[in-house]
Amino acid sequence: MTTLTDPPKESFRLSMLIYDTRYRSMTIQIIALIGFLLLLGMLVTNTAQNLATLGKEPSFRFLGEPASYDINQRLLEYTSRDSHLRAALLGLLNTLVVAFLGCITATILGVIIGVLRLSSNWVVAKLTTIYVEIFRNVPVLLWIVFTMAIMIETMPAPRAFKGENPVATMALNDSVAVTNRGIYIPEPLFSRSLGDVHLLGQGSMRFDVSLDLIAIVLVLGLSLWGAAKIKLRADKIQEKTGERPRTWHTRLGLIVVPTAVLLVALGFHFGYPELKGFNFKGGTHLRNSLIALWLALSLYTAAFIAEIVRAGILAVSHGQTEAAAALGIRPGKIMSLVVLPQAMRVIIPPLISNWLNLTKNSSLAIAVGYMDITGTLMGITLNQTGRELETVLLTMLIYLSISLSISAVMNWYNKRVKLVER
Residues 374 and 381: their CA atoms lie apart, in Å, by 10
β-bridge pairing 279-281 and 274-276: antiparallel
pLDDT tens track for 205-242: 667 778 888 999 999 999 999 999 998 888 888 788 87
DSSP 370: -
Mean pLDDT of 282-303: 93
Q: What percent of the chain has pLDDT over 70?
A: 94
H-helix segments, 280-339: 288-315, 318-326, 331-333
- Looking at beta carbons, which pairs linking 349-354 to residues 24 or more positions away fall under 8 Å? 349/414, 350/308, 351/107, 351/305, 351/308, 351/410, 352/406, 352/407, 352/410, 352/411, 352/414, 354/106, 354/301, 354/304, 354/305, 354/308
Binning pLDDT at 50, 70 and 90, where does residue 20 land?
confident
Predicted local confidence at residue 100, as pLDDT: 94
Residues 115 and 102: their CA atoms lie apart, in Å, by 20
Burial bucket for residue 152 (CB in 10 Å: 0-12, 13-18, 19+) = middle
Predicted local confidence at residue 201, as pLDDT: 65
Binning pLDDT at 50, 70 and 90, where does residue 3 land?
low
β-bridge pairing 207-210 and 196-200: antiparallel
The answer to whether residues 346 and 373 touch, using CB atoms and an 8 Å cutoff, is no
Predicted local confidence at residue 281, as pLDDT: 87
Phi, psi angles (nearest 5°) of residue 210: -70, 130
Given a cut of 70, whether residue 202 has pLDDT beyond it is: no
pLDDT tens track for 92-116: 999 999 999 999 999 999 999 998 9
Range of lowest pLDDT (22-31, 225-234, 350-359): 22-31
Using alpha carbons, select from 238, 239, 259, 260 the residue that is nearest to residue 247.
Answer: 238
CA dihedral 167, 168, 174, 177 (to 10 degrees): -150
Mean pLDDT of 326-334: 83
Query: Which pTM value belongs to this model?
Result: 0.83
Average pLDDT, the chain: 87
Please spell the DSSP secondary structure of 12-53, one letter per residue.
P-TTHHHH-HHHHHHHHHHHHHHHHHHHHHHHHHHHHHHHHH
The answer to whether residues 274 and 280 touch, using CB atoms and an 8 Å cutoff, is yes
pLDDT tens track for 180-194: 888 999 998 999 888
DSSP 148: H
Domain boundaries, the chain: 81-154+286-422, 192-267
pLDDT tens track for 398-417: 999 999 998 888 888 877 76
| Chosen CATH of 81-154+286-422 out of 3.40.50.12280, 1.20.120.80, 1.10.3720.10, 2.50.20.10 | 1.10.3720.10
Given a cut of 80, whether residue 328 has pLDDT beyond it is: yes
DSSP 94: H
Predicted local confidence at residue 59, as pLDDT: 79
Predicted local confidence at residue 388, as pLDDT: 86
Neighbouring CB atoms inside 10 A of 56's CB total 14
Mean pLDDT of 268-288: 88
pLDDT tens track for 151-182: 999 989 888 888 778 888 888 888 899 998 88
Predicted local confidence at residue 203, as pLDDT: 64
